[in-house]
Amino acid sequence: MKGRIACSADRLSLLEASMISSVVEPNAFQIGKQYQSERRVQMTDASDTEVTSSVMGNSGLYEQTIRLIDGHLEARCSCTLSEQPICRHGVAALLEYQRWSKARIVPKPRVAAPRLETEKPVASAVPSGDVKLSELNQFTEWMQRTVQAIQSGKPLPDQPPIGPGLVSTWTQVIQQMDDRRRESEGAQVELDADIRNREAVVARLTQDLEASVKESKSLQVLCRDLQREIEAQKAAAGKTTDLARQVEQVEVEVKAMSALLTDKGRRLEGLSDTCREVSLLLKSLGKA
């Protein structure tokens, strides 16, 4: 990352936090402020117009060079972020420089009455974020072995024998990040297994659904056949009803004809009796 912005200040110590936040991206300022508060910044060299430092970011260690030149503030960082004009690492370095420059200002002692004992000279304030070169070398070697372990999927090597301080904090942060990575990998494995189980269940449910759809189609065909058969039975029943009505009508007609024939039979019987009487009468007349 490389950025350049006009600046009227002639010393880096004049750049207050409010001035820095007004010219950088809000997200870059917030993360840079967090890095500085977590003591991730190590200043390599500093003057009124130039600062060189290194910042432990979330993805590695990055180096910065920030300088005032020809009325402009130039910031360079080894990261590849697109934050302009100053990235989060540069913001963290400037904020740490402000803390360091204020810590260097020692108020003048007041005139006091002479004492019998000789007072010890006041030691110059040293920023608590400084580390030894030997510790930094041990940390660099440990980082190389750590990167190799991460690439090969092996556990991180043991932390170097470094006392409490900024480098020890870096190693602890990296160890915590690796622990979180392993936890996330374990959670990812469990999630993948759960997804596979759910996919198997979905496949079984899909097969059951397809079988149910086929069975439903077969039942629909059977229902249509039954419906046609019922309609045919209804039609046959209708014809039977019509036939029954015709039979009843024929029965009525037959009964009427039977009554008529009975009446005619009676009349014929009466006529037959009359004929007999006439025949007998005629026979009696013939004898006479």
Mean pLDDT of 97-116: 58
- 130: Cβ–Cβ under 8 A, 6 or more apart, which residues? 42, 43, 166
Q: How far is CA 264 from CA 244, 260, 271, in A?
A: 30, 6, 10
C-alpha dist (Å) from residue 43 to 96, 100, 162: 8, 9, 19
Mean per-residue pLDDT, 210-219: 88
Q: What mean pLDDT is predicted for residues 153-174?
A: 77
pLDDT for residue 162: 74
Other CB atoms within 10 Å distance of the CB of residue 31: 20
CA distance 47 to 131: 18
Q: For 153-165, where are the alpha helices, taking DSSP H only?
A: none
State yes or no: pLDDT of 271 exceeds 80: yes
* Pairwise CA distance, residues 270 & 258, whole Å: 18
Residue, of 222 and 103, whose pLDDT is higher = 222
Helix (H, G, I), strand (E, B) or coil at 3: strand
Percentage above 70 pLDDT, the chain: 89
For the ranges 32-36, 79-83, 269-273, the lowest mean pLDDT is seen at: 269-273
Residue 65, pLDDT score: 94
Residue pLDDT, tens place only, 84-102:
999 999 999 999 998 888 8
Across the range 227-234, mean pLDDT stands at 89
- The residue type of 218 is S
Q: Please, what is the average pLDDT of the chain? A: 81
pLDDT of residue 184: 79
pTM of the model: 0.40
CB atoms within 10 A of CB 216: 10
Position with higher pLDDT, 164 vs 42: 42
CA 193 vs CA 133, 153, 196: distances in Å: 47, 20, 5
Using CA atoms, how far apart are residues 98 and 104, in angstroms rounded to an integer? 10
* C-beta separation of 64 from 71 below 8 A: no
* Reported confidence tier of residue 117, pLDDT bands at 50, 70, 90: very low
Lowest mean pLDDT segment, chosen from 67-76, 99-108, 147-156, 206-215? 99-108
pLDDT at 26 (0 to 100): 93
